[in-house]
Structure 1
Amino acid sequence: MARMRAPERREQLLEVAAGLFAERGYHGTTTAELAAAAGVTEPILYRHFESKRVLFETLIEAVGAEVIAAWQQRLDGIDDPATRLRTLLDGNPATHDRGRRIYRVIFQAMSEREEKGVVRAIRRHLVRLHRFLAGELEGLQSAGVVRDDETAAALAWLLIDVAIGYGMVTPLRGTAAMSSHGKGRMQRVLAQMLTV
């Protein structure tokens, strides 16, 4: 079997870490478990990431970038403001299987408040996510589709807060809440909150 090149190995380690951290949390996952799950030794793991904390912070950055890129890709080429708003709400990563898995990493990270680097990584992600959403909402306000009695920045924070709550609580409510019907209800409520 051919050895992986460094960038491929790094991506593989991040993918394995995403699964383990989402399932077990930061403190519940050891570097030995991460290395074993990736099929490497701990020294190989440390060759790519100087510590578990650095791996976790890097994962938060990667996960955050993936979420925003996926959302932007869904919106590319959509010019109609009403369709763009529906797509923006439908693209909420907390309402999709892959997005929920990704966001479990973020949710786990939120409990690591004593880890200052982790907190900074989460803040950077939230700022980037907020900037993206506020920009989208501002454009939709200009098009007359989204209410303008609140700033786009305030509405973006509202969407983030709702998405985090939805992503954390909905899996605890069971499969009916996570069904397409439950997801559709959530999107309709958000649309009512945002539209003129």
Structure 2
Amino acid sequence: MTEKKETILTIALQLFAEQGYENTPTSQIARQAGVSEGLIFRHFESKEGLFKALLAEGQTRLKGYVDAIVNEPDYKKRIALVIELGPLLMRRERSFWQLQFTLKFKSALYAKLKNEQAEFVALFQAGVEAFAGLGYAEPEQETYLLMLLLEGLTGQMLAQGDSYDSAPVVAFIKSKYNV
């Protein structure tokens, strides 16, 4: 990937996350990236193409995190990794998750995130397998509950920014699952 293309993606992600997809014109992205608007269209064809490229890049990174969890053979460690995933992603991929979280409530754009759902299905299945392997009576429900807790934690982290210390909550959730 060229440096300019990478810069465009970085600036677009930052602006989409801060201002929203609809409120961010490609002219602003071009201006802040120090490129012509035409270059954005040459690389990505359209604003939607730019958006899809951001999602694809995020999905690729997410796959790496999920693969590490899915391939963890120790069920307790796997559940611990699931619990730690939200705070880890917020530290490393904050803008991408901020964008995804805000899009969740805008159905037309959120539909475009469906490509990523394969990773969440794999993560969910890894949780079900781990809870079943540990003898939980309802592993699907337990996994669903854990995912809801983690979505709430991620929401808090987004809402409160860097000042929010997720460590006590993560430690508490881990203690509930004895991991």
TM-score range, shorter chain: 0.7 to 0.9
Instruction: Give 2:11's aligned residue.
Output: 16
The answer to whether structure 1 residue 185 and structure 2 residue 172 are counterparts is: no
- 1-structure distance, mates of 2:70, 2:144: 22
The answer to whether structure 1 residue 167 and structure 2 residue 154 are counterparts is: yes
Where structure 2 has 5 or more consecutive residues not aligned to the other structure, the ranges are: none
Instruction: Give 1:92's aligned residue.
Output: 86
2:120 counterpart (121, 130, 137): 130
Change in CA separation of 1:128 and 1:148 when aligned onto 2, cut-off 3 Å? farther
1:141-189 deviations in Å (ceiling 9; x for gaps): 34316x24142xx54444444333322233434655x22xx33423532
The answer to whether structure 1 residue 29 and structure 2 residue 24 are counterparts is: yes
**Cα RMSD between the aligned structures?**
3.1
- 1-structure distance, mates of 2:67, 2:168: 20
| Residue identity matched to 1:119 | Y
- 2-structure distance, mates of 1:51, 1:190: 44
User: Percent identity between the aligned chains?
Assistant: 22
TM-score, normalising length: structure 2: 0.78
- 1-structure distance, mates of 2:122, 2:70: 13
The answer to whether structure 1 residue 59 and structure 2 residue 51 are counterparts is: no
Where structure 1 has 5 or more consecutive residues not aligned to the other structure, the ranges are: none
Any idea what SS the aligned residue of 1:169 has? helix
Q: How does 1:108-147 map to 2 (within 5 A)?
A: 108-113=102-107, 116=108, 118-125=109-116, 127-144=117-134, 147=136
TM-aligned CA deviation for residue 46 of structure 1 = 0.4
1:39 counterpart (25, 34, 43): 34
Any idea what SS the aligned residue of 2:93 has? helix
TM-aligned CA deviation for residue 68 of structure 1 = 3.0
TM-aligned CA deviation for residue 62 of structure 1 = 2.2
- Greater fraction helix: 2
Any idea what SS the aligned residue of 2:83 has? helix
TM-aligned CA deviation for residue 132 of structure 1 = 1.7
